[in-house]
Amino acid sequence: MRTLLFGLLALAACDRHDKHPPAPVPSTPLPAPAASPTKACTLAPIPLRYPEPKRLVAIGDLHGDLAATRSALRAAGAIDDKDTWIGGDLVVVQTGDVLDRGDDERAILDLIFALEPQAKAAGGAVIMLLGNHELMNGAGDFRYVTRGQDFGQDRVKALTPGGTYAKKLAAHNVVAIVGDTVFAHGGVLGEWVTQVDEVNRSSRCWLDGQGGGPETPPLAMVSNESPVWTRGAGMPEVDCAQIARSLQALGVKRMVVGHTVQEKGISSRCDDTVWRIDVGLAKHYGGPIEVLELAPGAQPKVLRGTR
């Protein structure tokens, strides 16, 4: 237990998430899936793959800033000034890290959860993914929580496994593939391409309270190279050969990630096969409001909102 705790703290220490993120820590072997209670999980699976939509907009880390979230959604053409879905068959993918560093976490989650059925009814979708901060809160790691009264004293009850909001988060995957694009908070690299289904399943079942408590985190939380922790796709220098192998293994053409703040806004590497969309749009960072539009037959396009 002590070793596991130190490991989680070390991973979180690498998540300073500032304008100059630390270099990736040395690679570690892919851990074998633990024999955990999630084997008997009763949650219905969520699709990993979705068909290619006519239009998709990807939004990066939100970190507790409701105003920036609304601006990003409006830049995407998803909501009106009353927070009602107007996107029709638009698909919005949010790549995780709604939680921490801001006081509007619950309001953002409530907005996303309200938009999901509205979008579905209109023929579109809102696909929110889990980031490392959602899983850190599930593990009881509240070091990046602000002093506001967002969840207050109810944070443990709300966000640790089996809690009210943890169960709502359990309705979301870590990795999604929409058309020819794979989305994840940090990326899907190396041997992790073979573990996508297990990462999704174990994370969801754990948050739902069917995989142990905060002290028994899921597969995605126990390696610095996992889809919620890796910075391999977000740093200035990217291993394009590794990206190409991952894309080929997953049967897609591009990867879209958040997690590592891009100082100059949304950026791409490896001939536009990897896009990095965490622009630090939350007021904690003061970055621009930018989202990424993807449409069949068109070049990816950066859309900008206002504060």
Report the C-alpha gap between 213 and 231 in whole angstroms.
27
β-pair partners for 183: 176, 256
**Residue 76: left if φ>0, alpha if ψ -120 to 50, beta else—which one?**
alpha
Residue of 245, 267, 265, 264 whose CA lies nearest to 256: 267
**Could you give the dihedral angle defined by the CA atoms of residues 80, 82, 83 and 85, in that order, rounded to the nearest 10 degrees?**
-50
Q: What residue spans of the chain are helical by DSSP H?
A: 2-13, 66-75, 105-121, 132-138, 155-159, 164-169, 196-207, 240-250
SS3 annotation, 76-102:
CCCECCCCCECCCCCEEEECCCCCCCC
**Active site annotation includes 20:** no
The one catalytic residue among 17, 63, 133, 259 = 133
Amino acid at 179: G
Chain-centroid distance of CA 186 in Å reads: 8
Chain-centroid distance of CA 254 in Å reads: 16
Instruction: State the catalytic residues.
Output: 133
